[in-house]
Every structure is written in structure tokens, then in C-alpha cells.
Amino acid sequence: MTIHLEDIRQAAIRLRDIAIETPIHTSAVLDERVNARVFIKPECLQHVGAFKFRGAYNRLCQMSEGQRAKGVVAFSSGNHAQGIAYAAKLLGMNATIVMPSDAPSIKKEGTERLGANIRLYDRATESREEISADIAATSGATLVPAFDDVDVIAGQGTCGLEIMQQLAAISCVPDAVLSPCGGGGLLAGLSTAVKETNSAIRVYGVEPQNYHDHSLSKAKGVRVKIDPAVGTSCDALMATQPGEITWSINSKTVDDFLVVSEDEVAHAISFAFRYLKLVVEPGGAVALAALLHKKLDISGGSAAIVLSGGNVDSETFSRCLQKYPAP
């Protein structure tokens, strides 16, 4: 299974006047820091504070009346949870979300506020996939994956489509586009939109160092499943293996994968707050971190980056600002 630019264009039609067309920002400070022109796509300003609403709504709005009546179930650490919850609310559907008990409180509270039922689980002892499948089998609800679904991917791809359209409007073709990468849904949609618009543009996925399954998969030529010994502040990017569908796309459309450290992510969060005037969560800041810490040399060129989410707990945010008061 795969998607094409036309699928993303159709998703954009469904999302028109529903999703926010987030703007393209620039920063003289950032441009000077990396000696390049950087275009920032702040999906932290999207509904529910993350790009996930795009894919969630594109998936749910195509469900039949019978399916809608039985509701949806999803598993997520928070951003897909909120995206599904809000899309379901707009469409008058019931939603049940299976969330880890250690998910950031801002994400659990946001999901509950949007009217979804939450079923908490223990990452160490329970399987979210089994719990979700059981709920779906018992209730008849439709299970909506966070990333390994063509309609979800096409919806996320509208972010990439907007980037290309917004830059075309100012007669700019970027040398590279960088996107955060967890399960690979955003990256699969974005890379399809970019490459089918202009195949010469390089596309990079960015991962945290403890969850770099895509980078390892590229090196081995097959999907690699990791078993991290330690966690990551990037809770939105904690997938341990690329999805089957997302990898079938990203293995062809993504030029390379970049890896950033926890400290580099914290520095990027502080930088975004101080100079971009944006609140970005750890998983949403990895592409910015990659540029700031020279994981990719774009000196003298141009790049577009996605800040994929802004749902960060105040404690985590404060730690980043305190650690890097002058990023």
C-alpha cells in the first residue's frame, strides 16, 4: 500500500476550513546561526497543538455512518490521542484512547477535555496493541493506527503540501526538508508531497538518539525493531519500529535519517522559545535541533523544517530553559 500526491490533495480538500493552514515563519537569528535560509512550519500551532489532527480527521471523516455510530479506538502517548479526540468530537463520534500512564499530563488532560474516554496502561507490563484490539472487538469500534494507515498518512502529508505551496508562492525551492520521525507517518506523507512536487529536494527524517529505529533500518535495508535501554524526553517519537506502510514509503522517498541527543533537543526547545517565540515539545523540536547542531550542512543553502508539536509539560519545559538559558 502506498499514497501519491493526488491522495494528499484530496485530503487537503477534506481538511479545508477544518484544519489550520499553519504559516511559514523565518528567523534572522536562526538563519545567521546556521548560515542558511530556514523556513519554519510551526505545526505546534495546529489544532490540539500538533500535526496529528490532519491525519486523524482525514481518516475519521471518510468513515461510514455505521462505523461512526460505533466509534473509534486508538493508542497514543498523546498527540494522536488528542487528534482523534478532536476529530471525533467534530464528527459527533465516541472515542476511546489507550494511553500510557506516564504520558505527559498536558496530553492526558487535553485528550480528556476533548471528550474521549481514556484507558491508561503500563508501558512495562501491558500491550497497548492488545488492549486496543480487545476494546475494538468488544465494542465494534474502528481501530485507527497512529501512523500505519494510508488515510492517516495522506492527511499528515497535507503539511508537506502546504510547505511546497507556501514556498512556491514566494518563488523558493528549498534544498532540503527536515521532519521529525517517530512511526514515520508525517514523514511518509511529507516526503511524498515533496518528492512528487520536486524530486531534487532532499528529505530527512530526524530521530532522538535512543529511538533511532529508522536510521538503523536504513543502514540494514530492512525494518529494525529496537529495545531501548533508556527512555527519551521525545515521548511523541517513541515508536520502536518503522511501520510497514510508512517504511515502504520512507525507504524510497527519504534521503537519510539524522539523530539528535537529548541535550541537543533541550537546547532547541530553549532556542525556539527565546528566538522564535514558540513553545515546542521535545519530539517537535528534533528537526530544529538537527540544524542547530550541524547534523546536516546547509550552509549557503536553504531548508524547511517542521516543528511538529507543542504539547510539553511545564516541568520539562522549565528544565530546558534552565539548562540552556542563553541558547
Cβ contact 98:131 at 8 Å: yes
pLDDT digits (tens, 9 = 90+) for 250-263: 999 999 999 999 99
Q: Does domain 5-51+149-323 have CATH number 3.40.50.1100?
A: yes
Closest CA to 189 of 250, 234, 259: 250
Q: Do domains 5-51+149-323 and 53-143 have the same CATH topology?
A: yes
Per-residue model confidence (pLDDT) at position 102: 87
CATH fold for the domain made of 53-143: Rossmann fold (3.40.50)
pLDDT at 143: 95
Distance CA 291, CA 301 (A): 12
Residue with cell 529511538: 211
pLDDT above 90 for 186: yes
What pLDDT, on a 0 to 100 scale, did the predictor assign at position 262?
Answer: 98
pLDDT at 23 exceeding the cut of 90: yes
The whole-number pLDDT of residue 104 equals 85
pLDDT at 76 over 90: no
pLDDT at res. 188: 98
Specify the pLDDT at position 26.
98
Q: Domain spans of the chain?
A: 5-51+149-323, 53-143
The cell numbers describing 101, all together, are 500512564
With a pLDDT cut of 70, the percent of the chain lying above it is 100
pTM of the model: 0.95
Q: Write down the pLDDT at residue 163.
A: 98
